[in-house]
Structure 1
Amino acid sequence: MIKLTDLQGSRSIIDDLAHPFHFDIDRASRDYSWIKLTPEHRFLVIAGESTGGAYLSYGSGDFDQMPVLYVTSEGSAGKVASNLSEFLAIIVALPYWEDLLKFSGGGNLAEMRKAAELGFEIYEEEEIITSARIRLTNVLDIQEISDPIGLLHRNVESTDCTAVAEDGYQYGSLFNRFTSDDIRRWE
């Protein structure tokens, strides 16, 4: 099992996770006092991302073994992994995971798979992603996932808590209503 301290102890790991995978451990120290969970859970912000969102481990027990919740700055939140190790495996396998949720047709797994086939091969060709993926898998014990899209879908679908804004607004799902047809229209 990969621990947060394993990541924090290496500048190159921190840098590779921040760019290109948008999992910036350095941003965990920012002010996230705006995050409130419902139902209430204790949580630890483990990373942030450049648009202001945050990744947190929540629940009881060891933070490295707790589920990972992604809270966006745009009002969406959801469980993205069962623990830190699983989340790292997902983002290394699917650097475009957020786009798959965006083009999920409201949470349709088949739509996510179609979107992956249609619009995101470009990520696989980017040298920075390939290089960072190789470096991370050589240093960390990142397990290969046979069906990362299915696992991501199951995690988000099984979200058991969400964030609540200061005004009481309950954050929505990470699944968006766009479909693979929308990718074709935008090309």
Structure 2
Amino acid sequence: MMSLTPEVLTAQGEVVAWLGSLDVSFAPDEEPWFTIDGIDSPRQIGIDASGGALVLLPSQQVLYVSSEGRAGVIAENFEAFIQLVIARPYWLDILKFSAGGDLREMRRAADALEATLDDEDDINEAREEIRSRLDLPEADDPVGALYDAVAASDAIVRATDGSPFTTLFNRFSIDNNPMLRNAAA
């Protein structure tokens, strides 16, 4: 099987539509609102529902740049990114509730977020459709892979004024959110 690239993916309109239902859109590059040290023209391959940018680095890693001034590598390659989105469409919330980058907290958050999915049937249908159309195996440990990618991320992303973005690991825990805390109980 050939490796999954943005070009292979975007040639499959139905898969792109299913990924849209998981809050990922493969829009053409917009005017860049950030820079990445050592990379002249970052290749933005998509956006998420909150306006964050998805960038394919020359190393083939996928970098996420949030509109709130946080950035980091989230996947080793494009295929791993798609597997992450399918397995954990709420991956950004897992990082939000990572208690500063604690893998155990991230796993708790993932379980609680999975338990509180709004359109569980729609999401499960999207997961199955994307996996079967792309012939993708299920990710072994999507939360562990996300943790590893963000923890090892050394890309320095800057706002247009030159100030550096901070890590994607946020300080919150699901214990700060009553709905998620109850879902994890």
1:115–1:183: 8 Å Cα contact kept in structure 2?
no
Give the deviation of 1:162 after TM superposition: 2.9
- Look up the match of 1:23: 24
**1:58: which partner in 2?**
57
1:43 corresponds to which residue?
Answer: 42
> Does the 8 Å CA contact 2:88/2:110 hold for their aligned counterparts?
no
Find runs of 4+ consecutive structure 1 residues off by over 6 angstroms.
none
Q: Retained in 2: the 8 A contact 1:17–1:23?
A: yes
Shift of 1:184: 2.6
Structure 1 runs not aligned, ≥5 long: 61-65
- Alpha-carbon offset, residue 16 of structure 1: 0.9
Structure 1: how far apart are the matches of 2:113 and 2:87? 16
Q: For residue 116 of structure 2, give the secondary structure of its aligned residue in structure 1.
A: helix
Letter in 2 for 1:59: P
Structure 1 vs Structure 2 CA RMSD: 1.9
Tell me, yes or no, if structure 1 residue 132 matches structure 2 residue 133.
no
Confirm or deny that 1:79 pairs with 2:58.
no
- Cα deviation, residue 179, structure 1: 0.6
Distance 1:158 1:129 in 2: 29
Report the Cα offset of residue 42 of structure 1: 4.8
The two structures have a TM-score, normalised by structure 1, of 0.87
Going from structure 1 to structure 2, the CA distance change for 1:173 and 1:139 (only over 3 Å counts) comes to same
**Is the CA contact 2:74–2:149 (under 8 Å) kept in the aligned structure 1?**
yes
Structure 2, unmatched stretches of 5+, are none
Equivalent pairs, count: 179
Measured in 2, the distance between the counterparts of 1:162 and 1:18 equals 28
Counterpart residue number, 1:94? 88
What per-residue deviation string (whole Å, max 9, x for no partner) do you get for residues 41-88 of structure 1? 65311111232211011125xxxxx00000111111110101100111
Check 1:124–1:33 CA distance in 2 against 1; reply closer, same or farther (3 A cut). closer
Give the percent of matched residue pairs that are identical in Structure 1 and Structure 2.
Answer: 33
Q: TM-score, normalised by structure 2?
A: 0.88
